[in-house]
Amino acid sequence: MTTPEERTKRSLNLRRALKLISYALLVAAVVKEVRTPPQDRTWNGVVVGFVPYDLRFPTLERVKERMWNPSSTRLFNPRVFGVGWTLNVGRLVALGRARIER
């Protein structure tokens, strides 16, 4: 059985590892864009084959599209700004309402 201190240390190590991976993915996205000719840079795309990134200035339209889109089939969308995914709260609410109505 593990002690509370060991669990805390393990949790801290996991958070540090995830933070390091996030920073590495962000650096990879920036390097990918900087290596692209200036006229072809979009500042959004995919790194490591499947991790989305979007380094463009966030807009209200993009926030709504990715974070509150109940009509979407996706529960996780690319982040509004940064690397990784964000929860589509609108879809989550729609799924919850559909479940309640049953």
pLDDT range class, residue 11, cuts 50, 70, 90 = very high
22: number of Cβ within 10 Å: 14
- How confident is the model over 80-91, as pLDDT tens digits? 999 999 999 999
| CA dist., res. 65 & res. 26, Å (int) | 22
* DSSP-derived pairing of the beta strands 82-83 and 85-87: unpaired
Strands, DSSP E only, in 1-102? 44-47, 51-54, 76-78, 82-83, 85-87
- How confident is the model over 47-69, as pLDDT tens digits? 999 999 999 999 999 999 999 99
CA torsion 98-63-29-27 (nearest 10°) is: -100
Domain coordinates in residue numbering, the chain: 4-101
| CA dist., res. 21 & res. 47, Å (int) | 12
